[in-house]
Structure 1
Amino acid sequence: MKLYPLFADLHGLPVLVVGGGGVARRKAEALLGAGAQVTVGAPRLDAELAAWAGAGTIRWQRGEFVPGWLDGMWLVIAATDERGLNAAVAAAASERRLFANVVDDAAHSRFHVPAVVDRSPLVVAVSTAGAAPALARRVRETLERVLDHGLGALVALAQRQRARIVRRHENLADRRAFYDWLHDGPVLPLLRAARGQEAEQVLLAALQGDGPPPRKGSVTLVGAGPGHPGLLTLQALRALNEADVVLHDQLVGDAILAMVRRDAERIDVGKRCGGRQVAQEQIHRLMLAHAREGRRVVRLKGGDPFVFGRGGEEMAFLRRHGVACAVVPGVTAAVACAAFAGIPLTQRGQAQSVCLLTAHGKAGSDMPDVQALGRPGQTLAIYMGVERADALTARLLAHGRATDTPVAIVENGSLPQQRVIAGVLAELPRLVREHAVGSPALLIVGEVAACATSQAWFGELVDARAGQPVAEPMAELA
């Protein structure tokens, strides 16, 4: 280990930043965040630093650097664009036995400023000893994805109750087990849900008992998005990594399922239009049974759980049976498919509203029948509509939509086999049959759907009006 890692308490201490540009500003901002009394020394300051100086947030030492600036300082950072000046600052600091950092110059630095993952009061620092700061940044980005944003609140709670925890668990092994429970048990999920008082009460109750209470089961309804693994949210990824059991729809692809914890039990419950189905009541029973066994259950759904995903029904059922339930939203198909097809769902002068519709109601035969469907300037995003293209087209025309209203069919949206078929409303049933469109597919109806012919950037585009497939010009960006 070349460097000795430490965290410095600079609160109320004078520190010096030499330089008046953007780099110096970023260093000063980080030092201010740590509570330091910051002096910035430079002949000139950029606009933001000047504003800080005018407001008294920092002290400005105007002029060219002289070693006397270092008197009384605890720390110094050289952040100018002149290597010779930076070296002189470092040399003067060494003579005074002050730690100095020279930006992008490891040889002249006595300390290095790491890449930081901030979950205050939990802070993780990453350093390459100045050898490759860009790689430290990449490691930090990985940690940002992995470390739960609730950890800061958890550490703060443990800090407040530290004296009680130490008194209750004098034995180090018992104390370590308690902290494991604190992380793995019900406290962290409560903090994630912004229920801090309840989390503290659970902790205090555990301290009053003979040991950590047995883990209660829970269910998290997780939206997997449209299928592209890059659209999975950080919170969804954490839920998959913590799950004991995953009940997943058939629409959830292998790329998403590969992110599930390796030893978790996976149960395919179907839920694909036209595919194998598991009755909703059976899904309810499975969630309840596994949760009552103390397991962490993830109900993994394509898209978003609360957009045509029956997530509301599942949450209500779990609540009635006393099972803790949380929801992790996903990118719903209307948003994702439109984006991957280059179609803005709203656009000035073309569409001022969006209506999300499903062609499959609870009874299996419901069809939307409202006057708003015929209103121009509104985009319709229709889920599960391919099988009912004839009836949908007739209904939309009857409600006043013009025969030449632009439409786009987005098949397998966001997946490598995505296909966008652009045409007009009167031709929709023929397009579905002629191109053998299969599920999953989203129908977009409205003026903005015409944007696909010029803005589609992912997968294959078929412009039905021209009758020719268009190459995938920008698919490599995904």
Structure 2
Amino acid sequence: MTIPALLTAQSCVDHVHLVLGSGPLAASRCAKSLEVGARPVVVSPEADDVHFTLAKAIEDGRVKWVQRDFQEQDLSTLGREEVDGYVDAVFVTLPSKAPESIHISHLCKRMRIPVNVVDAPQLCTFTLLSTYSDGPLQIGITTSGNGCKLSSRIRREIASALPPKFGPAVERLGTMRRRIWEEDYKSQNITDVADAEVEDEEAAGQRHTFNALVKEDDRDPAVLRTRRMRWLSQICEYWPLSRLAAITDADVSAILGAYKASAQPPAPDSNEPCDLAPALPAKKGTITLAGSGPGHPSLLTVATRNAIESAHFILADKLVPAEILDLIPRRTPVHIARKFPGNADAAQEELLQLGLDAMKQGKDVLRLKQGDPYLYGRGAEELSFFRERGYEVRVIPGITSALSAPMFAEIPVTHRAVADQVVICTGTGRKGAAPEPPSYRKSKTVVFLMALHRLESLVKTLTRVSDDPETTTPHARRLWPSSTPCAVIERASCPDQRVIRSTLEYVCQAVEEGGSRPPGLLVVGHACEVLHKPVEDKRWNVEEGYRNLDAAGSSVGELNILKELENVSVKSDC
């Protein structure tokens, strides 16, 4: 059975820490001592084994080095004058089973000097905690020598659960606390503020009245003198940490101002209500950029689904499927991007302004984008827009159709001995201009997004030399053979998915005959024929529908009908 240790936080400013050893652990102990304001003294005879960071600290004069073996009198001569030369703590980084480590531990225990021996809990009178620091906030974790790695893991888990920048909020609350004590005790003509503060605050925390409501009309002098401190103690106890972390310097001033006359009893005839918990400023809105994936609702990430359900206002791309829009709660207003050829920039500006206006009202805005926000989705542009206006932006990735759509069409974009690289391109450049296509290589798979509305011109740029000298690059670009296999994938992952398998020579004719069903993309390369060999004497092949994401190959609607029928039959049997 492990007996718990007494955990304390010790001020070590100007303390002398004796460190025995010169390796990485000794360097780490010295760094920690310097961090807390102590003065490390290293005793070690080996000049060649000094760790490089420790050597630098010695060279800079921040660490004193006594270059010899340890001597017993070091414990009582290398320390501070005010404690008769005794050192304040000893860190032994020598092998734990070495006779010297055991001897030093016994000496320190006899002289009541705190000692820590690496990897030897039985030789230690204190252990170091795995610590997290954020300004005045410090968190320490120990497993009592049962695993430093586990301590670090627990510390990381706890720290990650705290609101960001919580340390400054702790400092602001501390400032508020000190000002409350000074102002309230001065108003009562109490001179020994420090003693009164300790006595009253510790006692108040133990009394049954701690949780009592702080009333504005309470005229008890003792209550009046401490009500602001009781109020502060209660908000520290009960407010969510995220709300405490949001407190600013302006909030501190506002709260203190609201209680300026706390020691004065209210006028008897006063009927004005007074809120003893001044509200914080209106909540600042947030913006989330989230990818909706290729189309099927089951391919949404959990984070995006949660964002859809919690948003106050949603700005959606035009091509976000109806199946995903159906997941939006009815209470949540939605604006669909009004993008069409020639209006893309204006529609984008409209979306950004709508999002900004909603956040100014304190709303949580979700910018729902097709696929992944950063893959031809203007995600970085939108992030920069909102960040420049003082808003932090959360970005949630989405499954991109560039890689998932070929999979749903049974096209492995890489395959041994067939395709060893994947290139993702846009089929439409800035302002509708045709982008420079990639050069041909037999083992290359190219996925063109946003390409179907200008499929014919894209195929021409792949297979022919451009007549326009401005679009001709100075380097030679290998043209793609017109016989190269390709596939058009539309509405990937949805029940009405369509795959057109053909070659660059006939793909335009195939799409023209079947009509367009956006959103869609073009996959080019020999990977298109790995799992689906071309049908002899057929220029193209069309495959309709995709049900593999629905249970038992049925659509959601079909499953609901089956469930209803099952319920009816059960009731009939009853």
Residue 300 of structure 2: which of 225, 230, 253 is its match?
A: 253
Residue 80 of structure 1: which of 79, 94, 107 is its match?
A: 94
8 Å CA contact 1:303–1:331 kept in 2: the answer is yes
Q: Residues 219 and 303 of structure 1: is their aligned pair in 2 closer, same or farther, counting only changes over 3 Å?
A: farther
Residue 56 of structure 1: which of 58, 61, 65 is its match?
A: 61
- Write out aligned runs for 1:148-297 (5 A): 148-166=163-181, 167=183, 170-179=227-236, 183-185=241-243, 188=245, 199-209=248-258, 211-224=277-290, 253-257=300-304, 264=310, 271=317, 273=319, 275-276=321-322, 278-280=334-336, 292=361
CA drift of 1:392 comes to: 6.9
CA drift of 1:10 comes to: 0.8
1:146 paired to 2:161: yes
Q: Residues 266 and 140 of structure 1: is their aligned pair in 2 closer, same or farther, counting only changes over 3 Å?
A: farther
CA drift of 1:62 comes to: 1.7
8 Å CA contact 1:315–1:325 kept in 2: the answer is no
CA drift of 1:156 comes to: 2.8
Structure 2, unmatched stretches of 5+, are 77-85, 185-225, 259-274, 326-333, 339-350, 405-411, 415-422, 440-445, 494-502, 512-516, 533-574
1:133 — aligned with what? 148
1:28 paired to 2:49: no
- Write out aligned runs for 1:117-132 (5 A): 117-132=132-147
Q: Residues 12 and 332 of structure 1: is their aligned pair in 2 closer, same or farther, counting only changes over 3 Å?
A: farther
Residue 96 of structure 1: which of 76, 86, 111 is its match?
A: 111
Residue 116 of structure 1: which of 131, 149, 159 is its match?
A: 131
**TM-score normalised over the length of structure 2:** 0.52
8 Å CA contact 1:221–1:325 kept in 2: the answer is yes
Counterparts of 1:306 and 1:181, CA distance in 2: 40
CA drift of 1:175 comes to: 0.8
Q: Residues 374 and 359 of structure 1: is their aligned pair in 2 closer, same or farther, counting only changes over 3 Å?
A: closer
Q: Residues 105 and 442 of structure 1: is their aligned pair in 2 closer, same or farther, counting only changes over 3 Å?
A: farther
Q: Residues 156 and 226 of structure 1: is their aligned pair in 2 closer, same or farther, counting only changes over 3 Å?
A: farther
Q: Which has the larger radius of gyration?
A: 2
Counterparts of 1:392 and 1:203, CA distance in 2: 63
1:14 — aligned with what? 16
Q: Residues 287 and 253 of structure 1: is their aligned pair in 2 closer, same or farther, counting only changes over 3 Å?
A: farther
Counterparts of 2:354 and 2:298, CA distance in 1: 21
Q: Residues 316 and 47 of structure 1: is their aligned pair in 2 closer, same or farther, counting only changes over 3 Å?
A: closer
Indicate the structure with greater strand content: 1
1:66 paired to 2:81: no
CA drift of 1:153 comes to: 2.2
**CA displacement, residues 410-460 of structure 1 (integer Å, 9 cap, x when unaligned):** x9xxx9xxxxxxxxx969969x99xxxx99999899xxxxxxxxxxxxxxx
**CA displacement, residues 66-125 of structure 1 (integer Å, 9 cap, x when unaligned):** 222222211111112352232222222111101111122222221111111221221111
Counterparts of 1:69 and 1:439, CA distance in 2: 81
Counterparts of 1:206 and 1:395, CA distance in 2: 69
Q: Which amino acid aligns with 1:175?
A: L
Counterparts of 2:69 and 2:251, CA distance in 1: 58
CA drift of 1:28 comes to: 1.3
8 Å CA contact 2:318–2:337 kept in 1: the answer is no
8 Å CA contact 2:315–2:368 kept in 1: the answer is no
**CA displacement, residues 153-189 of structure 1 (integer Å, 9 cap, x when unaligned):** 222333344323554774444113555669544x845
Q: Which amino acid aligns with 1:255?
A: V
Secondary structure class of the residue paired with 1:65: coil
CA drift of 1:355 comes to: 11
Secondary structure class of the residue paired with 2:94: coil
**CA displacement, residues 383-425 of structure 1 (integer Å, 9 cap, x when unaligned):** 842645725734754444543499999x9xxx9xxxxxxxxx9
1:245 — aligned with what? none
8 Å CA contact 2:292–2:320 kept in 1: the answer is no
Counterparts of 1:21 and 1:76, CA distance in 2: 16
Q: Which amino acid aligns with 2:527?
A: A
How many residues matched? 381
CA drift of 1:206 comes to: 3.4
Counterparts of 2:156 and 2:505, CA distance in 1: 47
Aligned-pair Cα RMSD in Å: 5.4
Q: Residues 382 and 201 of structure 1: is their aligned pair in 2 closer, same or farther, counting only changes over 3 Å?
A: farther
**CA displacement, residues 254-313 of structure 1 (integer Å, 9 cap, x when unaligned):** 43257779x957887654735126434798879967974x66566576745897357977
2:565 — aligned with what? none
1:403 — aligned with what? 479
Percent of matched pairs sharing the same residue:
18
Q: Residues 60 and 224 of structure 1: is their aligned pair in 2 closer, same or farther, counting only changes over 3 Å?
A: farther
8 Å CA contact 2:287–2:367 kept in 1: the answer is yes
1:464 paired to 2:527: yes
**TM-score normalised over the length of structure 1:** 0.61
8 Å CA contact 1:16–1:40 kept in 2: the answer is yes
8 Å CA contact 1:225–1:330 kept in 2: the answer is yes
1:393 — aligned with what? 458
8 Å CA contact 1:181–1:212 kept in 2: the answer is no
Q: Which amino acid aligns with 2:87?
A: M
Q: Residues 250 and 200 of structure 1: is their aligned pair in 2 closer, same or farther, counting only changes over 3 Å?
A: farther
Counterparts of 2:426 and 2:97, CA distance in 1: 62
Q: Residues 467 and 111 of structure 1: is their aligned pair in 2 closer, same or farther, counting only changes over 3 Å?
A: same
Q: Residues 74 and 90 of structure 1: is their aligned pair in 2 closer, same or farther, counting only changes over 3 Å?
A: same
Counterparts of 1:150 and 1:109, CA distance in 2: 35
CA drift of 1:216 comes to: 1.4
Secondary structure class of the residue paired with 1:174: helix
Higher relative contact order (CA 8 A, sep 6+): 1
Counterparts of 1:312 and 1:222, CA distance in 2: 13
Q: Residues 55 and 136 of structure 1: is their aligned pair in 2 closer, same or farther, counting only changes over 3 Å?
A: same
Q: Residues 385 and 7 of structure 1: is their aligned pair in 2 closer, same or farther, counting only changes over 3 Å?
A: same
